[in-house]
């Protein structure tokens, strides 16, 4: 399957929206549909991004911001910026080298990368391409055949992955109509996801979802920890109740995520879930016994700074980095650089010199909170 190249020069891409536009113009319709599709009427997908327009900064002035340090640690591992690449499948739909570009681009810019179970390059090859001190996470969809998941977890630990991201919001595939209308053909799926069982009339969603174990429960986290020996991040938390369970079951991190709006249309955005936690279980944030990552909808450095002000440890991005693959490793690097520059600029403009100085006092969330809870903001 030959892949087209972008008509737009890389240096003409000034923000993440530009990369999305170029990807839509460049990718084959079926490949674009797989990356861009979301559930039903796309309300959740769109709101994931637009929700940040309802938050306001409260900048402090006369602060010496000649230097702004956006570095942080994620699970104890230093990251140049407070964001990482989220797991996303089928990288070879956009580039012949697939996820190798993501590993190398992340390494060059000093950020972490969570590699999908359904990566289109073998995990051995991906781990072999990383820099010596680079941090990779292994994303797990628990297979109905638990022995296959055990094998994958053991391999991940041996390859030096530093945590397991357990995706928990996909017991059944969402209704992604754009993907269903275009449906990747068998050749495309085989190329981008070697070893997948392909049926000519099944969508890409069905191909990657058919083996997921819908019986997965909280008690299974102990099994994952025992087999892997690695820290656990639960991906797909959408309520304060499940945030509390993450703490109860002792996981190291939770990703507030609605799968980019690809599962249930009409769910809370991750930012709203974070505000739920602040309102009803503030000790989760204040005591910092667990790290919190926002996933889904982040498109600007200002979004990242807002999330950190409200208690997030870091954020993750999936689609923008997949879109960047049309430019290969250079595209991945440029997306990370653009975001990093935007984060540092926003920090300076609100009067913060380090991630630790990003506090709730720098934002006003009254518009969002009134819709969520009624009444005024408690921040």
Give the per-residue pLDDT at 207: 56
- Asked about 112 being catalytic, the answer comes back as no
Residue 4, domain member (yes or no): no
Domain that holds residue 287: 10-373
Lookup: tokens for 267: 């769910």
Contact between residue 346 and residue 302 where contact means Cβ atoms under 8 Å apart: yes
The total of structural domains in the chain comes to 1
pLDDT in tens, 127-153: 999 999 999 999 999 999 999 999 999
What torsion do the CA atoms of 148, 153, 159, 162 make, to the nearest 10 degrees? 160
Burial class from Cβ neighbours inside 10 Å (0-12, 13-18, 19+) for residue 48 reads buried
Decide: residue 10, CB within 10 A, 0-12 exposed, 13-18 middle, 19+ buried.
Answer: middle
Q: Is the pLDDT of residue 65 over 50?
A: yes
**Does a structural domain hold residue 271?**
yes
Start-to-end CA span in the chain (Å): 53
Helix (H, G, I), strand (E, B) or coil at 232: strand
The mean pLDDT of the chain is 92
Q: Which residues sit opposite 137 in a β-bridge? A: 114
Domain-located, residue 3: no
> Any idea what the CATH number is for the domain that residue 214 is in?
3.20.20.70
Alpha-carbon distance 224 to 245, whole Å?
Answer: 16
pLDDT band of residue 178 (cuts 50, 70, 90) is confident
d(CA 157, CA 169): 24
* Residue 38, pLDDT above cutoff 90: no
**Any domain includes 378:** no
Distance CA 314, CA 302 (A): 13
Q: At what angle do helices 16-26 and 329-350 cross, to 10 degrees?
A: 160
Query: What mean pLDDT is predicted for residues 78-97?
Result: 97
CB 87 within 8 A of CB 357: no
pLDDT digits (tens, 9 = 90+) for 332-375: 999 999 999 999 999 999 999 999 999 999 999 999 999 999 86
Share of the chain above pLDDT 70, in %: 91
Q: Stretch 74-87: mean pLDDT, rounded? A: 98
CB atoms within 10 A of CB 339: 28
SS3 93: helix
Point out the least confidently predicted range of 9-13, 94-98, 190-194: 190-194
Binding residues for FMN: 87-89, 116, 139, 235, 257, 295-299, 318-319
Whether 184 shows a pLDDT value over 90: the answer reads no
Contacts of 21 (CB under 8 A, 6+ apart): none
- DSSP category for residue 91: G
Report pLDDT for 193.
Answer: 56
2 in a domain, yes or no?
no
Please state, in angstroms and rounded to a whole number, the distance separating the CA atoms of residues 86 and 137. 9
Is 28 a domain residue? Answer: yes
Catalytic position from the list 112, 118, 123, 259: 259
């Amino acid at each position: 399957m030959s892949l087209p190249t972008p008509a737009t020069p890389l240096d003409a891409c000034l923000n993440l929206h530009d990369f999305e536009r170029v990807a839509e113009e460049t990718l084959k319709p079926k490949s674009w549909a797989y990356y861009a599709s979301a559930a039903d009427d796309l309300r959740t997908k769109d709101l994931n991004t637009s929700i940040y327009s309802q938050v306001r900064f409260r900048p402090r002035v006369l602060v010496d911001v000649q230097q702004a340090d956006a570095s942080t640690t994620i699970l104890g591992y230093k990251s140049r910026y407070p964001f990482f690449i989220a797991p996303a499948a089928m990288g070879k739909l956009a580039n012949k080298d697939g996820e190798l570009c993501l590993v190398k681009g992340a390494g060059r810019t000093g950020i972490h990368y969570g590699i999908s179970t359904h990566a289109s390059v073998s995990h051995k090859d991906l781990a072999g391409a990383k820099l010596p001190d680079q941090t990779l996470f292994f994303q797990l969809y628990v297979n109905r055949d638990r022995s296959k998941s055990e094998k994958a977890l053991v391999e991940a630990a041996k390859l030096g992955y530093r945590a397991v991201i357990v995706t928990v919001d996909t017991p059944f595939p969402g209704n992604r109509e754009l993907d269903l209308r275009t449906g990747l053909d068998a050749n495309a799926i085989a190329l981008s996801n070697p070893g997948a069982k392909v049926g000519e009339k099944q969508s890409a969603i069905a191909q990657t979802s058919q083996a997921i174990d819908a019986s997965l429960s909280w008690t299974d986290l102990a099994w994952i920890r025992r087999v892997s020996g690695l820290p656990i991040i639960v991906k797909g938390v959408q309520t304060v109740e499940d945030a509390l369970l993450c703490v109860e079951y002792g996981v190291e991190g939770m990703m507030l995520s609605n799968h980019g709006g690809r599962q249930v249309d009409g769910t809370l955005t991750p930012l709203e879930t974070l505000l739920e936690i602040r309102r009803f279980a503030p000790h989760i944030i204040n005591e910092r016994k667990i790290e919190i990552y926002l996933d889904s909808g982040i498109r600007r450095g200002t979004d990242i700074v807002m999330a950190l002000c409200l208690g997030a440890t870091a954020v993750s991005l999936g689609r923008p980095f997949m879109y960047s693959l049309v430019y290969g490793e250079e595209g991945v690097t440029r997306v990370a650089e653009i975001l990093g520059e935007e984060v540092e600029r926003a920090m300076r403009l609100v009067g913060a010199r380090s991630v630790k100085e990003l506090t709730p006092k720098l934002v006003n969330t009254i518009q969002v909170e009134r819709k969520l809870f009624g009444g005024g903001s408690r921040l």
